[in-house]
Amino acid sequence: MDQTFKVLVADDSHLGYAEEICMEMEESAKARGTGIAKRAPSYLQQKMLEKKAVIAFAADGNWAGFCYIESWGHGEYVANSGLIVSPNYRKGGLAKQIKQKIFELSRHTYPDAKIFGLTTGLAVMKINSELGYEPVTYSELTQDEAFWQGCKSCVNYDILMGKGRKNCLCTAMLYDPKDHYEPAETLSEFKKKEKIYERLLRSKQFRFLKNLRIMNLLTTISGFVAGLFIHHNN
């Protein structure tokens, strides 16, 4: 059963939550073994002041979740970034409520923008599908360098660059206000392919872990060889 939450457009009265939100974003990324672009509390505070973020509170008054809007190309592309739900309130339907609210805010603030998202989770893919997003290739996302620079703090950045920014562990999804299916259609399509998406995400994660082990082994060997070279020269 879904819990009761209040999901609001963040403003200056919420600035004090920024540090806690940033800490939870970082801890969550570490726990998943994947990454989201790291942000400073001041960056989130700026989003709050610009009315480009939503914040959620539980019935007990505690902070429960957050998400913010980023834009590129003079508002041509928009992303709903940094979605985070406090561990105390997960699996209560809050992520879906936050995604709905930030999507509505994005449509209001940037009515003509293409809204996109990157995710490593099947649950978020489903929520996006319920809003009318469709899976797309990375070539359909913004090519603004500022966006890709934001991926530098992600643990998968080397994989992204090694693939020429054509794909990574994340799945790209897009809502185009000028050319889109209705939410019922995108959700239906997601349900048909859900098992395929699940296998694809697992395959991506398996390849990432395999490549990570190889990279760690090469680093260890490189360090060992360097040590022998220094020892020999001494």
pLDDT digits (tens, 9 = 90+) for 58-100: 999 999 999 999 999 888 999 998 899 999 998 889 999 999 9
Give the total number of structural domains in the chain.
Answer: 1
Q: What CATH number should be reported for the domain holding residue 154? A: 3.40.630.30
Do the Cβ atoms of 71 and 54 come closer than 8 Å?
no
pTM, two decimals, is: 0.74
Residue 53: phi and psi, rounded to 5, are: -155, 155
Residue for token pair 């990454």: 35
Do the Cβ atoms of 99 and 83 come closer than 8 Å?
yes
Percent of the chain with pLDDT over 90: 36
Provide CB contacts within 8 A for 88, sequence distance 6+.
58, 62, 64
Do the Cβ atoms of 62 and 97 come closer than 8 Å?
no
The lowest-confidence range among 11-15, 170-174, 223-227 is: 223-227
Strands (E), 16-62: 53-58
pLDDT score, position 145: 87
pLDDT score, position 217: 56
Separation CA 191–CA 231 (nearest Å): 60
What are the contacts of 161-167 at 24+ separation with CB within 8 A? 165/138, 166/137, 166/138, 166/139, 167/137, 167/138
Separation CA 196–CA 174 (nearest Å): 19
Q: How confident is the model at residue 51 (pLDDT cuts 50, 70, 90)?
A: very high
- Domain span holding position 79: 5-233
